[in-house]
Amino acid sequence: MTGRVGIGMLGCGTVGTAVLRLLDEHGEDVLRRAGRPLEVIRVAVRDLSLDRDVALRVERFTDDPFEVVTSEDVHVVVELMGGIEPARSAILEALRLGKRVVTANKELLATHGPELFEAAAATGAGLHFEAAVAGGIPLIRPLIESLPGERLTRLLGIVNGTTNFVLTRMTEDGSAFDDALAEARRLGYAERDPSDDLDGFDAAAKCAILASMAFDTRVVLEDVYREGIAGVSPEDIEFARRLGYVVKPLAVAELEGGEVAARVHPAMVPEDHPLAAVREAFNAVFVSGPNVGELMFYGRGAGGAPTAVAVVGDLVTAARLAAEGRPGVAFPSERRRGIRPMERMESQYYLLLDVADRPGVLAQVAGAFGKHRVSIRSVWQEGRGDEALLVLITHRANEGDLRRTVEDLRSLDVVVEVRSVMRVEGEE
């Protein structure tokens, strides 16, 4: 290829407009690093009548994503529409035509990643997606390009800013869940419909992508166990504080015995753990392996400007590779490692029980734990009239054993209610 690299953009919303602004403001740096001038040739949007406040002539806009993809002058396609269709078909068409693709679409990658990777590999076109996970934090490229010398075994992170913000407000101000969520909305950290974030779908999609990159395999959304944060009560947060923990929305992925275990759920982490200091809408990811030890990536996981920085980084790489006629970066192999079912995963656990306040209760409760080989690490009791609150933290235990213990506890006369069960991570 000679001359400029033609860019076709699909979507010009929060991230798309920020990308156009960065390209405009940093044109010379981008030119130097890409080795060729980049020119945005076509941009697809849904509503052509909207004023987008970007330095691009209106004739460049269209409402047909496929017109952008098939335009001869477009060499690199940047997909920033979100959702599955038409994003999936447009990306597949671009890859089929041998065009490089940059996308920030975690939902699409987590559900159709293998299909897209195969299409990219078939033509050597290249698919770049740094912005799809943790916005402005460089994470995908280090996992793919900097760490092939390591066999990573664990990834522990906070990858959703909305839920981290809500739990931070509940922890630091004692806010009720709804008030914390309303504040997140006011500050632009939560969507009008925040269910994707609160129910853990957003974090699970990112966890699937990260686990695929970290363990060189193909993990999809359904492989990731998922729990949202709606069940976290102010009481859990208060007990966490008293016991020296902080409640965080975690994504955990592990490789053990050739199997991948991936899950997202709220969990208690020790207050001196680095993830406890990741507050508000910030994200952080810890990866570890036997040689490199622990690495932590920290920063703004969302927002138009940080995400646009990641998109422009990919765009420069894609444009350089296109200009040099080189194939795109390699992805996780086609290998599908086994997925470890939740029943066989291990964690520590916090349990909050309402029990009768009379002699012999502790022995019966301890008996249920002992029967299923779940070892209790600490117990804390608070009398409340005829009843008492019992807070227990276990040693590391098998999830299946813990679930059976909880079933047995529920059947005990002395246990009025199992009020809460939460995993504890980052300690043993």
Ligand X SMILES: NC(=O)c1ccc[n+]([C@@H]2O[C@H](COP(=O)([O-])OP(=O)(O)OC[C@H]3O[C@@H](n4cnc5c(N)ncnc54)[C@H](OP(=O)(O)O)[C@@H]3O)[C@@H](O)[C@H]2O)c1
In angstroms, the CA 218 to CA 212 distance is 5
Q: Give, in order, the Cα–Cα distances in Å from 248 to each of 75, 168, 252.
A: 42, 8, 12
Measured from the CB of residue 226, what is the shortest distance to ligand X in angstroms?
17
Closest CA to 15 of 249, 315, 297, 284: 315
- Look up residue 12 and give its two tokens: 């010009």
Site for ligand X in 297-336 (CB under 6 A): 302-304, 307
Q: Which of 8, 126, 135, 328 binds ligand X (CB under 6 A)?
A: 135
Give the contacts of 17 (CB within 8 A, at least 6 positions apart).
52, 53, 54, 304
Measured from the CB of residue 44, what is the shortest distance to ligand X in angstroms?
4
Q: Is 248 tagged catalytic?
A: no
Measured from the CB of residue 276, what is the shortest distance to ligand X in angstroms?
24
Measured from the CB of residue 196, what is the shortest distance to ligand X in angstroms?
9
Nearer to ligand X, 308 or 415 (CB): 308
Tell me whether the omega of the peptide bond preceding residue 65 falls within 30 degrees of 0, making it cis: no
In angstroms, the CA 74 to CA 127 distance is 15
Closest CA to 342 of 228, 170, 226: 226
Q: What are phi and psi of 342, to 5 degrees?
A: -55, -40
Q: Give, in order, the Cα–Cα distances in Å from 109 to each of 102, 221, 314, 395, 426.
A: 12, 9, 16, 36, 28
Q: Which stretch binds ligand X (CB under 6 A): 6-14, 120-128, 192-200, 412-420?
A: 6-14
In angstroms, the CA 154 to CA 135 distance is 21
Give the contacts of 313 (CB within 8 A, at least 6 positions apart).
130, 138, 141
Q: Which stretch binds ligand X (CB under 6 A): 9-17, 142-150, 171-179, 279-287?
A: 9-17
Site for ligand X in 169-228 (CB under 6 A): none
In angstroms, the CA 365 to CA 363 distance is 5
Q: Which stretch binds ligand X (CB under 6 A): 11-19, 217-225, 240-248, 388-396?
A: 11-19
Nearer to ligand X, 301 or 426 (CB): 301
Q: Are 426 and 270 in contact (CB under 8 A)?
A: yes
Regarding 65 and contact with ligand X (CB under 6 A), the answer is yes
Give the contacts of 64 (CB within 8 A, at least 6 positions apart).
44
DSSP run (H or E) holding 25: helix 14-25
Q: Which stretch binds ligand X (CB under 6 A): 98-106, 150-158, 172-180, 341-349?
A: 98-106
Q: Which of 30, 42, 92, 105 binds ligand X (CB under 6 A)?
A: 105
Q: Which of 24, 25, 29, 46 binds ligand X (CB under 6 A)?
A: 46
What is the three-class DSSP state of 230? coil
Nearer to ligand X, 60 or 396 (CB): 60
Q: Which stretch binds ligand X (CB under 6 A): 8-16, 174-182, 258-266, 334-342?
A: 8-16
Regarding 47 and contact with ligand X (CB under 6 A), the answer is yes
In angstroms, the CA 98 to CA 44 distance is 20
Across the chain, which distance is largest between two alpha carbons, in Å? Answer: 85
Regarding 44 and contact with ligand X (CB under 6 A), the answer is yes
Nearer to ligand X, 285 or 302 (CB): 302
Give the contacts of 270 (CB within 8 A, at least 6 positions apart).
244, 245, 246, 276, 426, 427
Q: Which of 82, 114, 142, 400 binds ligand X (CB under 6 A)?
A: 82
What is the three-class DSSP state of 428? coil
Measured from the CB of residue 295, what is the shortest distance to ligand X in angstroms?
21
Given the residues 99, 206, 248, 371, the one annotated as active site: 206
Nearer to ligand X, 304 or 327 (CB): 304
Q: Which stretch binds ligand X (CB under 6 A): 41-49, 327-335, 349-357, 394-402?
A: 41-49
State the residue number with the nearest CB to ligand X: 13
Nearer to ligand X, 224 or 237 (CB): 224
Q: Which of 21, 33, 70, 86 binds ligand X (CB under 6 A)?
A: 86
Nearer to ligand X, 87 or 181 (CB): 87
Regarding 352 and contact with ligand X (CB under 6 A), the answer is no
Helices 14-25, 27-34: axis angle to 10 degrees equals 80
Nearer to ligand X, 11 or 228 (CB): 11
Regarding 104 and contact with ligand X (CB under 6 A), the answer is yes
Regarding 131 and contact with ligand X (CB under 6 A), the answer is yes
Footprint on this chain of ligand X (rule: CB under 6 A): 11-16, 44-47, 50, 63, 65, 80-82, 86, 104-106, 131, 135, 302-304, 307
Residues carrying an active site annotation: 206
